[in-house]
Copies of this chain bind each other. A is one copy, B any other.
Amino acid sequence: MKDDIATLWGGGLDPSSGKTLQQQLHTKIRTAILDGKLVDGARLPASRTLANRLGVARITVTQAYDQLIAEGYLETRTGAGTFVVAGSPDQLFQTNIKYVSRQESAPTNHRHILLSGMPALDQFPTANWARTTSRAMRKLNTDMMYHNDVMGYAPLRRNIADYLQASRSAVCDASQIMVVSGLQQGLFLLANAALKPDAPIILEDPGYDGMLASATATGHPIRYTGVDDHGALPPEQAGGMLVTSPSRQYPLGHTMPHSRRLEILAWARTTGSLIFEDDYDSEFRYSGRPLNSLQGIDEGERVIYGGTFSKSLFPALRLGYLVVPKPLIERIQKFRSAIDSFPSITGQIALNAFMEDGEFTRHIRRLRIVHAKRKNLFTNFAHTQLRRFLDFQPSDAGLHLLAYMTDDMVKAGIEDKQLAELAQTAGIGAVPVSNTYQFAPKQQGLLMGFANLADEKIEDAVKKFSSAIYKVLNTTTN
């Protein structure tokens, strides 16, 4: 441990900065960890020592430490002190670790498509949901029936703000939370409210086709920025809005390191652009440290944070949220009140009751365990049965796996679209990776959902898929 810790983050605290000393200290320590200045396992000074060094009250230091412990950056070891949690950025950002992800848009036809981004819907606590919903509905009063705040139901927004502050280090208060029907609606509202008519929407390539659909619907020009092992590259365009998924790039799964986050934020500042941070399934990380949101680093000036309950509860709930920078709130309210108002108060009060009762956090904790187990089961069977056809990429998070097609398959002339259909017929949610590319050279592979397959069905589904591939290969070779 470097003894002179106060020098690590370049300068002391500033009482006139408009932020509390505790907030400043918290930010400085977190940044030092993310930048690698405070390395894995490093011991922090005793709170009394650091307080003396900085000339602040001891409680300022202990509260900053407590928050960082709650966020998973620090841990205490009894009798030994406070340490940086192992699971360094270097480990998390290794280029061969690829995360995979979701498919959110509703298909417009009525064919039953098994999408790859589904959580374990069989684990949803229906009885508890019905109970809390029923209690909420019995309290439905005329004020709620008459509710007319396009931002959403105030108690729910407070719960969401608390959740985001605690779990995603978001810098926000409840007044900035807008309850939306999903992230595609979020993007659509934002683009209409915040962008000049000719300002571009810049998407990741490869990227999520749901966001492309929404961006196209706005009528704004669409541009693309490439993706490397650190996630989205800072765009060449000036102005407009970049849509990015820094927690886990969709579809490639890279986590954006702190250095790239700073580059992207610098791009936004110098070009006068906005960033829409799509944090679609950040609840499901199976190892390592939670990464702080881009919105939290930026402190909410140029970044609009978006999240959804589609993954943590179920997709047809159609509820998500934006954290809107304060200068944009009035404009987005105006546009939204013209075209949609707000999602039904009934779903909002039901979800609020579910959160108030602690059911929401209990369910997420339970899902993490179930999903981790299914991921392991699926990975094991897939490695045995599918190795010849698919090259599974390691993953520490999310609801699906990315697997590239092997050279053998490519040589046999099989396309990932065909493969996705075979997987779906076998009962496995699957999306062809090639669908996610626009101009970048297309990869062939699958995004395969493991989370919504009951434990006992995984082996059978993988075997069926494997047999189906063999059958096609034989037909092709004959």
Contacts and interface: CB of A to CB of B under 8 A. Distances in A.
Interface of A: 105-108, 110, 113, 118, 121-122, 124, 126-127, 129-131, 133-134, 137-138, 140-142, 144-150, 181-182, 184-185, 188, 192, 210, 213-214, 216-217, 219, 314-319, 330, 333-335, 337-347, 350
A316 B130 contact: no
Contacts of A118: 146
Contacts of A146: 118, 121, 314-316
A124 B345 CA distance: 15
Contact of A338 (B105, B113, B133, B147): B105
Contacts of A126: 137-138, 140-141
Given A126-B138, A181-B343, 15 more contacts: A105-B341, A106-B150, A106-B341, A106-B342, A108-B330, A124-B140, A129-B137, A134-B134, A185-B341, A210-B338, A219-B219, A317-B345, A319-B344, A343-B343, A346-B346
A217 B148 contact: no
Given A142-B122, A213-B338, A335-B217, A148 B345 contact: no
Contacts of A335: 217
Residue among A133, A315, A319, A335 with the highest chain B CB neighbour number at 10 A: A133
Contacts of A334: 108
B316 A148 contact: yes
B214 A339 contact: yes
Contact of A345 (B214, B318, B333, B345): B318
A110 B217 contact: no
